[in-house]
């Protein structure tokens, strides 16, 4: 790297941090690691703070508490990235849809199932609702520095439009999101308006997260696997491409991770069609295929089965080894195929971090 590039790079957010290097296409000798849902109920210190806060959303909208929860796993395990503690469903809420988290029952929203039912959605309270989250981001960045985690990057995130629409239309979790799919198949123009609204909101939200200090962003398309090929192209790839382009217009150097869960072979079309810097893969994507087909085009992130982390022992060791052997030679970020399960023993997470850190592509 010549000195000119060094000076330019030193102004870029997060440059030099292992996570950002990997996400921008530089293979690392020891792959950086973070875990989806690394902050959460498997940690006793999280459960304690959540009880103090009251409900889950009270935690999300309290910047001091949310920042503390974001940093908890970093203190314990020293991952290469902290991920903002929040939830993807703050976007429907900021657009005016009623949201509740009931104890043990997951999220509940008042379903919107036609273009006419979209009428109450608006940007009137959007920024005001989300402003505590931006304060959390600023607090986390400052606190990571004062606590000496100067190599730890901060990842911001949002739900992808399709996954957000699934919750907005079905009104909560669902086996197949049939209500959402019925609207998408039956009234593509009306449903397209909902997707466009979410796309606009999501891009604005992620840009603000970056403005306030997020050094990379991840778009969670957790229910991409509920689509067929046509729906996937129209409602997963297209909106993600729009979001990538809107972010790049103001923040060309901030890496963007797309996570179209259960997309199978369409993960390749997603990478090509969206231009993301990195692609999150779930545990069903063969790592050798990912190395051959995806890694030449994007950094790959994944893909240990969360149940394997829950199990621990030899199964975990063998699977971690094979993921590293297949992917660590190129730009790669170690992660799970989906979020940590709440029954996971924290010791297993510590062992996983140690295994990945012991691995080096310099070893023969
Ligand atoms: O990864 C992290 O550590 C950051 C925090 C984070 C949460 N949710 C905290 C959370 C992130 C990135 C999310 C994203 C999210 N939220 C997704 C996409 C990723 C995925 O898991 O597929 C989705 C689909 C949601 C929606 C959501 N939030 C559901 C379905 C639920 C209930 C199910 C559950 O796990 O309880 C939540 C609640 C939620 N989000 C919790 C946490 C820590 C549990 C709330 C609690 O403390 O009771």
Phi/psi of residue 122, nearest 5 degrees: -160, 170
Q: Over the stretch 145-166, which tens digit does the pLDDT of each residue have? A: 999 999 999 999 999 999 999 9
205 is in an annotated binding site: no
Parts of the chain with a pLDDT under 70: 1-12, 364
76 is in an annotated binding site: no
61 is in an annotated binding site: no
Q: Where are the alpha helices (DSSP H) in the chain?
A: 3-10, 18-23, 44-53, 56-60, 63-77, 90-94, 126-146, 161-170, 178-186, 188-211, 229-231, 238-250, 266-274, 287-289, 306-311, 313-327, 346-358
Which are the catalytic amino acids? 37, 41, 50, 87, 167
Q: Over the stretch 41-67, which tens digit does the pLDDT of each residue have? A: 999 999 999 999 999 999 999 999 999
137 touches 83 (CB < 8 A): no
pLDDT reported for residue 361: 85
pLDDT reported for residue 9: 45
361 Cα–ligand 1 center, Å: 33
| Sheet with 299-304, edge to edge strand ranges | 81-83, 153-159, 216-221, 256-260, 278-280, 299-304, 332-336
pLDDT reported for residue 11: 53
362 touches 29 (CB < 8 A): yes
Q: Whose CA is nearest to atom 37 of ligand 1?
A: 106
38 is in an annotated binding site: yes
282 touches 261 (CB < 8 A): yes
Query: Which of 47, 88, 136 most suits a substitution to test ligand 1, by most atoms within 8 Å of the C-beta?
Result: 88
Closest CA to 349 of 296, 311, 294, 323: 311
pLDDT reported for residue 5: 41
DSSP string, 304-324: E-HHHHHH-HHHHHHHHHHHH
pLDDT reported for residue 12: 67
37 Cα–ligand 1 center, Å: 7
Cα 275 from Cα 254, distance rounded (Å): 13
Closest CA to 115 of 199, 195, 194, 201: 194
Does pTM surpass 0.85? yes
Residues 6+ apart with CB under 8 A from 345: 42, 310, 312
Please name every residue paired with 258 in a beta bridge, in sequence order, or none if there are none.
219, 279
Q: Which residues line ligand 1 (CB under 6 A)?
A: 36-41, 50, 56, 83, 85, 87-89, 106-107, 157, 173, 220, 222, 339
136 Cα–ligand 1 center, Å: 17
Delimit the domains of the chain by residue range.
34-303
Q: Whose CA is nearest to atom 45 of ligand 1?
A: 56
The residue assigned the tokens 């439009």 is 161
Burial class for 104, CB neighbours closer than 10 Å (0-12, 13-18, 19+): exposed
pLDDT reported for residue 7: 41
pLDDT reported for residue 154: 98
pLDDT reported for residue 363: 72
274 Cα–ligand 1 center, Å: 24
Cα 81 from Cα 71, distance rounded (Å): 10
Please name every residue paired with 154 in a beta bridge, in sequence order, or none if there are none.
82
Q: Which atom of ligand 1 is nearest to the CA of 46?
A: 47
pLDDT reported for residue 336: 98
Class of domain 34-303: alpha beta
Query: Which of 37, 161, 301 most suits a substitution to test ligand 1, by most atoms within 8 Å of the C-beta?
Result: 37
DSSP string, 235-278: IIIHHHHHHHHHHHHH-TTS-EEEEETT-TTHHHHHHHHH--SE
Q: Whose CA is nearest to atom 7 of ligand 1?
A: 87
Cα 165 from Cα 192, distance rounded (Å): 10
């Amino acid at each position: 790297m010549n000195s000119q590039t060094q000076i330019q790079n030193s102004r870029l957010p997060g440059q030099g941090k292992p996570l950002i290097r990997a996400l921008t296409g530089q293979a690392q000798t020891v792959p950086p690691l973070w875990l989806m849902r690394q902050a959460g109920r498997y940690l006793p210190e999280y459960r304690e703070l959540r009880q103090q806060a009251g409900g889950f959303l009270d935690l999300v909208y309290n910047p001091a508490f949310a920042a503390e929860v974001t940093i908890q796993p970093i203190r314990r395990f020293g991952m290469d990235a902290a991920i903002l503690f929040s939830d993807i469903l703050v976007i429907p809420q900021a657009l005016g849809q009623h949201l509740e988290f009931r104890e043990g029952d997951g999220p509940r929203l008042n379903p919107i199932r036609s273009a006419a039912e979209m009428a109450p959605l608006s940007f009137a309270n959007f920024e005001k609702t989300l402003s505590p989250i931006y304060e959390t981001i600023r607090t986390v960045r400052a606190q990571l520095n004062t606590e000496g985690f100067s190599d730890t990057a901060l990842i911001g995130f949002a739900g992808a439009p399709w996954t957000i629409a699934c919750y907005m239309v079905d009104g909560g979790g669902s086996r197949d999101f049939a209500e959402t799919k019925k609207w998408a198949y039956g009234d593509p123009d009306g449903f397209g308006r909902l997707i466009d609204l979410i796309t606009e909101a999501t891009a604005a939200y992620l840009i603000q997260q970056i403005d306030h200090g997020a050094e990379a962003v991840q778009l969670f398309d957790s229910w991409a696997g509920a689509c067929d090929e046509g729906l996937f192209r129209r409602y997963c790839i297209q909106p993600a491409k729009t979001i990538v382009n809107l972010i790049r217009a103001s923040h060309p150097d901030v890496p963007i991770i797309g996570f179209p869960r259960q997309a199978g072979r369409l993960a390749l079309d997603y990478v090509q069609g969206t231009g993301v810097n990195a692609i999150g893969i779930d545990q069903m994507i063969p790592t050798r295929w990912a190395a051959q087909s995806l890694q030449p085009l994007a950094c790959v992130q994944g893909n240990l089965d969360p149940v394997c982390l829950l199990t621990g022992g030899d199964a975990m060791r063998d699977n971690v080894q094979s993921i590293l052997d297949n992917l660590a030679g190129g730009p790669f970020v170690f992660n799970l195929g989906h979020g940590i399960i709440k029954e996971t023993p924290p010791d297993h997470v510590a062992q996983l971090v140690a295994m990945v850190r012991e691995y080096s592509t310099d070893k023969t």
